[in-house]
Amino acid sequence: MKLYRRFSSAMNGFTQIEHAFLKEGQAIFKDRGAILILLIAVWAYPLVYSIAYKNNVIRNIPMAVVDSDHSALSRQLVRMIGATQEVEINLETGNFNEAEQLFWDGESKGIIHIPIDFEKKILRGEQAHIGLYCDASYFLIYKESLSGSLKAVGTLSAGIEIKRLMASGSTPDMAKKQRDPLTLKTYTLYNPSGAYGTYVMPGLILVILQQTLLVGIGMIGGGRRERQKMLASSKNHELSSIFYTLTGRSLAYFILYVFNLLFTQVVLAHWFHFPDNGLLLDIGLLMIPFLFSVIFMGLAVSLLLTRREHSIMMLVFLSPVVLFLSGISWPTTSLPPLLYQLAHIFPTTSMIPAYLRIRTMGGTLQDVIPEFMFMTGQMVVYGILAMLSYRIFLHRKTPVLEKEKVISH
């Protein structure tokens, strides 16, 4: 008899899960706004961003040269700067005011000024200077234009020094060693080309997944509040029933986002050659607590939204905050301690570094056990919070429902 009751209870639970799963799936696919957020936006945003960052690095930055020296050495320096991948010399002039006006007009992103005594000082063995004016208001342009110019100036300076040493009797090999007695070898790990798209897109995709999921759940929940539809009947407030219903609803969103993950993590990553150094199995296991944490968080928060539009307001308010706290635009280690702790309210704060450690750096799931356990804890906490929130919500709505039932009779 006990075994039969347990079996009957389990079957009843599975029936409730199936019913909630189908109902939530119908609610999603009947809602055009939810389809726009949960399917179209999840595919469109990463695709548009990936296309925008396809070039990955900034090249051929237009710069003006003010050559006041008009010497063979100054012309050689101009050719060397223009030969770099980063800089393109689009104008040469001896008038600094003209070059400055081109900068203000936006036709050049910087100015290289070679003074009138440039070659003379070098031939006399004195230290010469050149002026480099870069647009630091745009950090990427500033970095690349400065890097290309310094590369050319450093190469020219090294050649001049080696020639002086050879003139004093040193062999070419000795001159090179004397010029650089300590050689620095740099190894750029995980992103050798310094590509911006390779750096920003993997983490940004996770933020998009989280935000669209929260907004989509909030939109469905806000729509229910507008129509005054309850989670279950007023007589069924047991936590077990709420658990089964929330499980069915969460599975509807989870399965939907499995297809979104296949597109973003497999198809999109292949198209745009994002780093793929980890195992997809490890990434898939890491995604389970991440997605369920976001889903349960969304189910709990959706009870606070009385209208569908509130979810869009939540997106506008939270997205810049989440993006900043995620560590993409600014390292989380440089955040104030209190803000860093508050950042862990959002699953992406733990998910992004763990994901990058596997996908970009080639780690395994064992290398991200602390983040995996933390997100698992988030999943449990947000799941309990969603259950309690729905139970409180149902108790608060019960008198209204009973009153409506009496009037209908």
The span from the CA of 372 to the CA of 384, in Å, is: 19
Residues 6+ apart with CB under 8 A from 45: 208, 212
Taking only the tens place, the pLDDT of each residue in 59-100 is 889 999 999 888 999 999 999 999 998 899 988 887 888 888
Q: How many residues does the chain have?
A: 409
Determine which of 15-24, 172-181, 376-385 has the lowest per-residue pLDDT on average. 172-181
The span from the CA of 107 to the CA of 64, in Å, is: 9
Q: Check residue 261 and give its pLDDT.
A: 94
Secondary structure element (H or E) that encloses residue 74, with its range:
helix 72-83
**First-residue to last-residue Cα distance in the chain:** 39
Give the mean model confidence (pLDDT) for residues 353-379. 94
The span from the CA of 344 to the CA of 106, in Å, is: 42
Which stretches within 195-328 are classed as H helix?
Answer: 196-227, 239-262, 268-271, 280-301, 309-325
Q: Check residue 42 and give its pLDDT.
A: 93
SS3 64: strand
What is the share, in percent, of the chain residues with pLDDT greater than 90?
36
The span from the CA of 311 to the CA of 218, in Å, is: 5
Q: Check residue 2 and give its pLDDT.
A: 58
The span from the CA of 81 to the CA of 87, in Å, is: 7
What is the share, in percent, of the chain residues with pLDDT greater than 70?
91
- When pLDDT is cut at 50, 70 and 90, the band that residue 397 belongs to is low
Taking only the tens place, the pLDDT of each residue in 139-161 is 888 888 998 999 998 888 888 88
Q: Check residue 35 and give its pLDDT.
A: 92
Residue 188 has pLDDT above 90, yes or no: no
Q: Structural domain boundaries of the chain?
A: 12-54+196-408, 61-179
More confident site: 151 or 168: 151
- When pLDDT is cut at 50, 70 and 90, the band that residue 361 belongs to is very high
- When pLDDT is cut at 50, 70 and 90, the band that residue 348 belongs to is very high
The span from the CA of 184 to the CA of 50, in Å, is: 34
Q: Which CATH number fits domain 61-179: 3.40.1710.10, 3.40.640.10, 3.90.380.10, 3.40.50.720?
A: 3.40.1710.10
Secondary structure element (H or E) that encloses residue 183, with its range:
none
28 CB neighbour count, 10 Å cutoff: 21
Q: Check residue 213 and give its pLDDT.
A: 93
**Cα angle vertex 230, ends 229, 232, to 5°?**
135
Question: Residue 67 phi/psi, 5° resolution?
Answer: -95, 95
Residue 408 has pLDDT above 50, yes or no: no
Residue 228 has pLDDT above 70, yes or no: no
More confident site: 106 or 11: 106
Residue 403 has pLDDT above 50, yes or no: no
Q: Check residue 334 and give its pLDDT.
A: 85
- When pLDDT is cut at 50, 70 and 90, the band that residue 409 belongs to is very low
Q: Which of 153, 147, 83, 57 is nearest to 110 (CA)?
A: 147
Residue 1 has pLDDT above 60, yes or no: no
- When pLDDT is cut at 50, 70 and 90, the band that residue 231 belongs to is very low
Give the mean model confidence (pLDDT) for residues 233-247. 72
What is the full DSSP assignment across 84-153?
SSSEEEEEEES-HHHHHHHHHTTS-SEEEEE-TTHHHHHHTT-----EEEE-TTSHHHHHHHHHHHHHHH
